[in-house]
Chains A and B, each alone.
Chain A
Amino acid sequence: MEKKDIIQSFKDSLFTGLIALALFGPIVGLRTASKGEGLFITPQWGIVFLLVGLCILGRFLINLNSARKTEITFFSKFTSKFSAITEDKAKHFAITAILFSAVFPFLPFTDRYFMDVAIMILTYIMLGWGLNIVVGLAGLLDLGYVAFYAVGAYSYALIATTFGWSFWICLPLAGVFAAFFGILLGFPVLRLRGDYLAIVTLGFGEIIRIILINWYEVTNGPDGITGIPRPSFFGLPFKRSPDEGETSFHLFFNLEYSTMHRIIFLYYLILVLALITNYFTLKIRKLPVGRAWEALREDEIACKSLGVNPTNTKLTAFAIGAMFGGFAGSFFATRQAFISPESFTFIESAIIVAIVVLGGMGSQTGVVLASIFLIGITEMFRDLEQYRMIAFGGAMVLIMVFKPKGILANRKPTILMHGDKK
C-alpha cells in the first residue's frame, strides 16, 4: 500500500468525522433537561467526541481494508457461507430447526421469559410467512398487513366473548373473516402497482385501526376487549381450580399445577399454526396458482397475453395471505386475553414487511432467520429500554449492507425437468 493511499483514506475519514459531528452535535450533544422552571440545555460533548472518533476510526479501517490487495471480507464470507449451507442442505436445516423448536420448551435453560420471546418470534414468523404469499410471491407490496391481523384478533375476540364458542371453531371463522377483508381490500387496488399499491394498503391498515377505535358499540373502542377465553387442551382448561363438573389439564394428567403448562401449550399451538402456514405456502407455490402469482410479480402484461386472469390471481393472493394473518390474529387474542387497537399500529406492519424483505423476498427460511434476528436482537437489548430500537435499526442496516437482496435471496424453481443435479 502506498503512502498516498493512506493519506487519501485519512482525509476521507476526517471528512466522515465532519459529517458525523454535524449530525451528532445537535442530536446527541445538546440535551434538554428540566430543572425547576423551564427547559435548560445541557451539553454532552464527551459522548459526541467519542461517537465522532468511532466514525473516523471505522471509516479509516474500511478504507484501509478496501485498499488492500485482498480485502478482509469476514462478514460477507460468513453470511454467504451460511446461506450456502441453508440452501444446499435445506431439508436437513428445516428438520433440525423443527426438531429444535419441538424440544425447546423442555431444554434446561428455557424459562418463562425465553418461552414468551419464542412465542413472539413464532407469531412474527407466521405473519411473515403469511405476508410472504402477498409480497414475496405475488409481488404486491402490502403495508397494511396488520389490518388482517387485527380483523382476525377482533373476530376471534367478539365471537368467543359473545357466543362462547371454543377456540377451534372461532379460529377458522377468524381466518374466513380476514380472508373476506383481504378480498375487500383486493378489489379497489387491482389496478394499482408498486408505490401506489403500498400507499393504499397503508391507508387500509389505518382505516381498520380507526374503525376499531371509533366503533364503540361493537369493539369497545380504545378500551379494547377483555376476558377473551383462553384456549383449552381439547376441552381441558388450564385452571388451578376448575369449575363444577370440569376437569382441568393438570388434574387429568396428574401433574402439579403450573402456569407453564398453558405457556407450553400456546407455544406448540403457534408452532403448529406456523408450520401449517409454511407447509401450505410451499405446496401452493408448486401449483398453477402459485406459479401464476410469481408470474404476475415478474410481468403482469405478459401474464395477460398468456390468458392468466390477473384479477382472480391477485385476489386469491390477498385472500390467502389475509387468512393466515387472521389465524395469527386469533392466536394473539387468545394468548393475550385482552386486545385493543393499540396492538395493531403501523409499526407492526412495518416490522412484518421488514422481516419479509430482509429475509429475502419469497424465501421461507429467510423469514425465519430475519424474525429471529430482528425480534431476538430487539428483545436481547430490552434492558436498554428505548435504545433497543437502535439495535433493531442496526440489525436492519447490517442486513441491508451485507445482504442487500435479503438474507436468503436465491429462488429455487418450483418444478425441475432434469431433477436435482446434486
Chain B
Amino acid sequence: MSNLLSVENLTMKFGGLTAIDDLSFDAKNNQITSIIGPNGAGKTTVFNCLTGFYKPTNGQMFLHKEDSKISLRKYTDFKIAYVAKVARTFQNIRLFPAMSVLENLLVAQHNELMVASGYSLFGLLNLKTYRDKEQLAVDKAKYWLDIIGLTHRADDNAGDLPYGDQRKLEIVRAMCIEPRLLCLDEPAAGLNPKESAELNKLLKFIKTEKQTGILLIEHDMSVVMGISDHVVVLNYGKKIFEGTADQTKNSKEVIEAYLGVDE
C-alpha cells in the first residue's frame, strides 16, 4: 500500500508551549489512520497544521500524488482544500445552519460550479451548459444523501437536523470536494451506539469505495478499534506509540498514558 501522507518532524509552538513536538508519521492510501491521545495531547493542532489553519513552527508535511509529492506547507487556508484536496470536518459541527442540506453540499462544489457558471456570467444568462453542470452537482449531492439516508430532508435547513445527521452531513459535505485525504475531528462525539455503528459503516464505505485516505481523531474506542488500520498515539505533543489497533490495545505505554502509572 502506497503512502498518501507523510508528516516529518512536525513541531508547533505557541509562545512557550510546545503543542506538537517533533512528530513524524505516515498515512497510507485506502486506510483509516487514527490519531488518539488524552485531552490536550495536540491532536486537533496536528489537523490545523495539515489543513492550513496553522503554520507549523518546524517540519514538513507531504501529500503523495502518483510519483510526485506536494508540500502542504506551501498552501494556506482555502487552497488546502482547493488545490491539495485535503478536506476536514470540525470537532464542533460547522455546517451552514440556515442553508438547506442540498445547498450545503453545493457550496462544497463551489469551485467547479464557479467555473461552470463562467464566474457567474453564463449563470446570469442562464445558459444550458451551466444548468447541466448544476444538475450534475445536484446528482452528486443526491448520491451522497442517499448513502446517509437524508435525501428526504434535502430541502430542510441543515441546522434543523438531529445532531447525528448533522455529523454525517458534515462528512459527506467534505466528501463532495472529492478529497484525496479526509481529516475527521471526533466524528463520533455525542453519537449514541447505533449512530456510531452507522458512522463506522460510512467511513468503511468511503475508504473502500472512494479510495480516499482517512485521518481520524477520536475518543470513542469502539469506533477507533473497529475501523482503524493504523493508530498513532500522542501524549503531550509527542508520539508515544504507533501500530495496529490490536497492538495499541495491549501497549503498556498507551495504557499508562490513559490510566496513569502505578506508584
Contact = CB atoms under 8 A, between A and B. Distances in A.
Interface of A: 280, 283-284, 286-289, 291-292, 294-295, 298-299, 301-310, 411, 413-418
A307 B177 contact: yes
Interface string B155-172: 100000000000000000
B155 A413 contact: yes
B82 A307 contact: yes
A305 to B, nearest CB: 5
B77 interface: yes
Residue among B78, B88, B95 facing the most chain A CB atoms (10 A cut-off): B78
Contacts of B107: 291-292, 295, 303, 306, 308
Interface residues of B, number: 47
Contacts of A294: 96, 98-99, 103
Contacts of A292: 107, 110, 114
B123 interface: yes
A138 B177 CA distance: 22
Residue among A305, A310, A418 facing the most chain B CB atoms (10 A cut-off): A305
Interface in B125-162: 134, 138, 141-142, 151-152, 154-155
A324 B89 CA distance: 37
Contacts of B87: 305-306
B206 interface: no
A52 B44 CA distance: 59
A299 B96 contact: yes
B71 interface: no
A250 to B, nearest CB: 38
Given A288-B113, A413-B99, A305 B142 contact: no
Given A302-B96, A309-B82, A415-B134, 7 more contacts: A288-B106, A298-B95, A303-B78, A304-B52, A305-B51, A306-B174, A413-B102
Nearest to A302: B94
A308 B52 CA distance: 14
Given A289-B114, A295-B99, A307 B154 contact: no
B108 interface: yes
Contacts of A283: 123-124
Contacts of A307: 78-82, 110-111, 177
Given A288-B110, A291-B110, A416 B99 contact: no
A295 B96 contact: yes
Contacts of B52: 304
A211 to B, nearest CB: 32
A255 B87 CA distance: 68
Contact of B173 (A306, A310, A415): A306
B90 interface: yes
B33 to A, nearest CB: 19
A306 B51 CA distance: 11
Contact of B154 (A284, A414, A417): A417
Contacts of B123: 283-284, 286-288
A327 to B, nearest CB: 17
B77 A304 contact: yes
Contacts of A414: 103
A302 B95 contact: yes
B81 A305 contact: yes
A287 B117 contact: yes
A298 B98 contact: yes
B120 interface: yes
